[in-house]
Amino acid sequence: MSAAAESLVLRDARVGDRVTDILITNGRIVKMADDIRSHSDDVSLDGRWVIPGLWDEHVHFSQWALKTRRLDVSTATSARHAAQLVHDALAAAGPLAVDDDGRPLTFVANGFRDGTWPDAPNLADLDAAGGGAPIVLISSDLHSVWLNTVALELFGHAGHPTGLIRETAAFAIENLVNAVPDSVLDPMVNEAATDAAARGIVGIVDFEMAWNRESWERRMTGGFDAVRVEFGIYSEHIDRAIAEGLHTGQRLSELLTVGRHKVITDGSLGTRTAFCFDEYPGMAGQPDSRGLLVVPPDELAAHLRRSSSAGISPAVHAIGDAANTHVLDTFEALGITRGRIEHAQLVTDADIARFAALGVEASVQPEHAMDDRDIADTFWPGRTAHAFVLRSFVDAGVRLVLGSDAPVAPLDPWFAIASAVGRTRDGREPWHVEQALSAAEALRASTRTDVAVGEIADLAVVELDPFTSPPEALRAPTVAGTLVGGRWTHRTL
Ligand SMILES: [Zn+2]
């Protein structure tokens, strides 16, 4: 690379209420004016909008890349219907696929939502779906898997009565079916990241359930450069992270940053395992009728004491209101000042105030509210005024960040922004519209920089007015260009 500064001029860019030229040198915005002299690398934007590049603050990137290649059963309206979709896909695929040793490959489908099905996932339906192949269906929220008899034997659960396995055991099976060779996975990851850049994304927070440092350093050494990556660290890898001297916010390379310590304390709404103060309807007297506290407070405290003393900040999954209370209690007891709660789907008013008082970030996924509004009305009756809140957080002064939790929802921040602003999808009546954000607030929660002199040139060029367009337009804008540190990662201009 030459010693001379590398410059780029974006001409006639609309930023807020003005049209200006933007001079970018060595990856930063160094001047915004309408009299910037010509450079060799001039790009005319013809008044298109320039906004800060978008971040998806919660993804499982390998799973997202894999999901794009798998059968999607999210449209199934019953267990029988889901099994039928699997049957049809297997029949269409022809002869049973086998590995090098002649063993049948596991058939994996994603996205089932049994929360509102009239029948329950069961062995008989799934066994009838396909001859011989192990079949694994992963639920839309990832908190349960549904296996046929062959798969139960393969994954160590022979004799299981229904084939429906939840939480920690489900995650273990997902990790096994997702363990494809790097040589197969990495090209899929590259492709998914290129697609992300084309949506205006400049960064992702990856909570893949793996030792993510290694995966991302390998990919970046191999040329991956489409987005910035901040990676999470699960409890089983915390000792290793500390031994390697990692701390939150540490830059390992231009695009790779150390993220947070991820702990999953409770389950999910769809699986009725989110840990709540109230019982789930119809579950009175049953075990786990209020959900499942996978990591109780004393255990959480032990985990977080260790990581926070090493400078690794927490990102704790808590969905139910009681789980959120426990996590806030733990942050408070340990004096954690830069905590973050992932999902925060059901939160009491008192706890919203505590998020603000303790400086805890709320990392939420507005598109989940659209996916789960009916399930929330069913499983959290009378409490949905406190479910998937956005406005309440902002008004209380809580720092809010938006994500997709891909593969749970598609990796596209515009879906999150549109849902946050409109609280609706597919023309339905808005759901709890009193919790809507303005487009400016939703964008603020989806970005980490500003379009201003001195800022890193992480930018997106969009074909619509992102501040006044209706929610359905915000769901699918044309992104004309994306820059990461002043380098085009997507460009149609
Ligand atoms: Zn997640």
- Please give the C-alpha separations between residue 315 and each of 51, 84, 130, 169, 338, in angstroms, as whole numbers: 27, 39, 40, 22, 9
- Read off the pLDDT of each residue in 301-319 and give the average, rounded to a whole number: 98
446 pLDDT band, cuts 50/70/90, is very high
Domain limit, last residue, from 155, 177, 199: 177
pLDDT tens-place string over residues 191-213 = 999 999 999 999 999 999 889 99
Residues 115, 192 share a domain: no
Dist. CA 67 → ligand 1 center (Å): 14
Residues 138, 266 share a domain: no
Residues 357, 380 share a domain: yes
Dist. CA 209 → ligand 1 center (Å): 9
Judge whether residue 1 has pLDDT over 50: no
Q: Where are the beta strands (DSSP E) in 75-166?
A: 107-112, 135-139, 144-147, 164-166
Backbone angles phi, psi at 26, to 5 degrees: 50, 40
Judge whether residue 69 has pLDDT over 90: no
Asked, for residue 453, whether it belongs to a domain, the answer is yes
Residues 252, 118 share a domain: no
Helices within 109-166 (DSSP H only): 123-129, 149-154
Q: What is Dmax (Cα atoms) for the chain?
A: 75
Dist. CA 160 → ligand 1 center (Å): 27
Helices within 254-296 (DSSP H only): none
Residues 322, 211 share a domain: yes
**Quick one: how many helices (H) and strands (E) in the chain?**
16, 21
Percent of the chain with pLDDT over 70: 99
Residues 292, 361 share a domain: yes
State residue 2's pLDDT score: 41
3 pLDDT band, cuts 50/70/90, is very low
Supply 339's token pair. 């905590």
β-pairing verdict for 228-234 and 256-264: parallel
Asked, for residue 296, whether it belongs to a domain, the answer is yes
Domain limit, last residue, from 152, 177, 202: 177
Residues 349, 203 share a domain: yes
Dist. CA 493 → ligand 1 center (Å): 35
Dist. CA 197 → ligand 1 center (Å): 20
- The count of structural domains within the chain is 2
5 pLDDT band, cuts 50/70/90, is low
Asked, for residue 269, whether it belongs to a domain, the answer is yes
- Read off the pLDDT of each residue in 451-468 and give the average, rounded to a whole number: 98
State residue 82's pLDDT score: 98
Domain limit, last residue, from 148, 177, 206: 177
- Please give the C-alpha separations between residue 386 and each of 270, 293, 402, 414, in angstroms, as whole numbers: 17, 20, 18, 24
Asked, for residue 249, whether it belongs to a domain, the answer is yes
Dist. CA 28 → ligand 1 center (Å): 32
Dist. CA 464 → ligand 1 center (Å): 30
Neighbours of 338 (CB within 10 A): 16
CA geometry: angle 291, 292, 298, nearest 5 deg: 130
179 pLDDT band, cuts 50/70/90, is confident
Asked, for residue 26, whether it belongs to a domain, the answer is no
Gap between the Cα atoms of 16 and 439, Å rounded: 13
Supply 491's token pair. 């460009």
Asked, for residue 135, whether it belongs to a domain, the answer is yes
Judge whether residue 409 has pLDDT over 90: yes
Residues 334, 194 share a domain: yes
Residues 227, 212 share a domain: yes
Supply 106's token pair. 């596991």
The chain-wide mean pLDDT, for the chain, equals 95
- Read off the pLDDT of each residue in 349-366 and give the average, rounded to a whole number: 98
Contact 326, 319 (CB under 8 A): no
Comparing 98 with 349, which gets the higher pLDDT? 349
State residue 4's pLDDT score: 52
Residues 438, 301 share a domain: yes
Dist. CA 298 → ligand 1 center (Å): 23
Dist. CA 48 → ligand 1 center (Å): 34
Dist. CA 58 → ligand 1 center (Å): 6
Contact 151, 165 (CB under 8 A): no
**Please, which residues have CB within 8 angstroms of residue 215's CB and are 6 or more apart in sequence?**
62, 182, 208
Asked, for residue 128, whether it belongs to a domain, the answer is yes
Asked, for residue 4, whether it belongs to a domain, the answer is no
Dist. CA 412 → ligand 1 center (Å): 15
Dist. CA 169 → ligand 1 center (Å): 16
Residues 188, 166 share a domain: no
Range of the domain at 143: 68-177
Contact 348, 321 (CB under 8 A): yes
pLDDT tens-place string over residues 232-246 = 999 999 999 999 999
Dist. CA 3 → ligand 1 center (Å): 43
Dist. CA 340 → ligand 1 center (Å): 13
Residues 108, 207 share a domain: no
Dist. CA 14 → ligand 1 center (Å): 35
Q: Which long-range contacts (CB under 8 A, 24 or more apart) does 159-168 make?
A: 161/123, 162/120, 162/121, 162/122, 162/123, 163/121, 163/122, 163/123, 163/126, 164/114, 164/120, 164/121, 164/122, 166/267, 166/271, 166/273, 166/292, 167/143, 167/267, 167/271, 167/273, 167/292, 167/294, 168/294
CATH number at residue 81: 3.10.310.70
Dist. CA 207 → ligand 1 center (Å): 6
CATH number at residue 382: 3.20.20.140
Dist. CA 34 → ligand 1 center (Å): 44
Supply 206's token pair. 């990856």
State residue 401's pLDDT score: 98
**DSSP code of 161?**
S
pLDDT tens-place string over residues 17-63 = 999 999 999 999 999 998 888 777 899 999 999 999 999 999 999 99
pTM: 0.90
Dist. CA 112 → ligand 1 center (Å): 16
**DSSP code of 422?**
H
